[in-house]
């Protein structure tokens, strides 16, 4: 059972976008899926409340304390808050099978992620654990920009895998307003976006 946590202490990097679309991908594939929202803003829970009955069902995970999901649930996505407490982060990492760390292609995001990786390595007491359980995700990336090139150089200097580079598109914003994910639409309508997700889905299921 994959339990996937979405983690980055910096706000505005796309954690909820990643969490909701990943949950949508799992549900659309026929898996019984839960989406946990541990952020006080409750953006993922709001997204669930907008979700139409006609699309694949995603259950909310209401547990106040982290533990293994209920029997019968096969896939779980956990959306975590910005400025997550180190002890809470350790709990999330303990429960999760995979941890995705989204970031945008800006210098501030690069610097914040570098600090976070250093802190994460210290918190886990072993940097060797990062490559197996953790992966980075580039969010809202326009490959034609210098920022995208800087992001690529940043990634190449790390020993942590990059699960995917997700392109910049308004589809995420438009779909979120209706409680939908890329995976609730016919593939031909979002073919380019779905293609960029393929390596990410392989990594979380591997």
| CATH code for the domain of 31 | 3.40.50.300
Where in the sequence is the domain holding 32, given as residue range(s)?
Answer: 3-205
What is residue 97's three-state secondary structure? coil
pLDDT tens per residue across all 206 residues of the chain = 789 999 998 989 999 999 999 999 999 999 999 999 887 788 999 999 999 999 999 999 876 556 777 788 999 999 998 888 778 888 888 888 999 999 999 999 999 999 998 888 776 665 445 657 899 999 999 999 999 999 999 999 988 999 999 999 999 999 999 999 999 999 999 999 999 999 999 999 87
CB 78 within 8 A of CB 38: yes
* Per-residue CA distances from 42 to 60, 97, 167 (Å): 11, 23, 25
Give SS3 for 100: strand
Paired tokens of 43: 């953006």
What is the per-residue pLDDT for 131?
59
Output the six-digit token pair for 116.
């976070």
Q: How many domains does the chain have?
A: 1
In this prediction, residue 66 carries a pLDDT of 67
Looking at residue 3, its pLDDT comes to 92
Q: What is the value of pTM for the model shown?
A: 0.93
Q: Categorise residue 168: left if φ over 0, alpha if ψ from -120 to 50, beta otherwise.
A: beta
């Amino acid at each position: 059972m994959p339990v996937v946590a979405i983690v980055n202490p910096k706000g505005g990097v796309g954690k909820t976008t990643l969490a909701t679309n990943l949950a949508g991908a799992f549900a659309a594939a026929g898996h019984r899926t839960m989406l946990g929202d541990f952020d006080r803003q409750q953006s993922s829970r709001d997204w669930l409340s907008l979700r139409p009955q006609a699309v694949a069902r995603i259950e909310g995970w209401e547990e106040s304390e982290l533990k293994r999901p209920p029997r019968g649930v096969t896939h779980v996505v956990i959306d975590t808050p910005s400025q997550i407490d180190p002890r809470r982060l350790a709990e999330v990492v303990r429960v999760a099978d995979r941890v995705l760390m989204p970031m945008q292609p800006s210098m501030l995001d690069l610097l914040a992620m570098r600090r976070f990786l250093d802190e994460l390595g210290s918190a886990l007491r072993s940097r060797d654990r990062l490559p197996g359980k953790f992966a980075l995700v580039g969010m809202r990336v326009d490959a034609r920009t210098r920022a995208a090139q800087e992001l690529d150089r940043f990634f190449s200097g790390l020993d942590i895998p990059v699960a995917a580079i997700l392109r910049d598109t308004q589809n995420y914003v438009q779909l979120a307003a209706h409680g939908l994910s890329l995976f609730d639409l016919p593939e031909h309508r979002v073919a380019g976006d779905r293609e960029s997700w393929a390596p990410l889905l392989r990594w979380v299921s591997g």
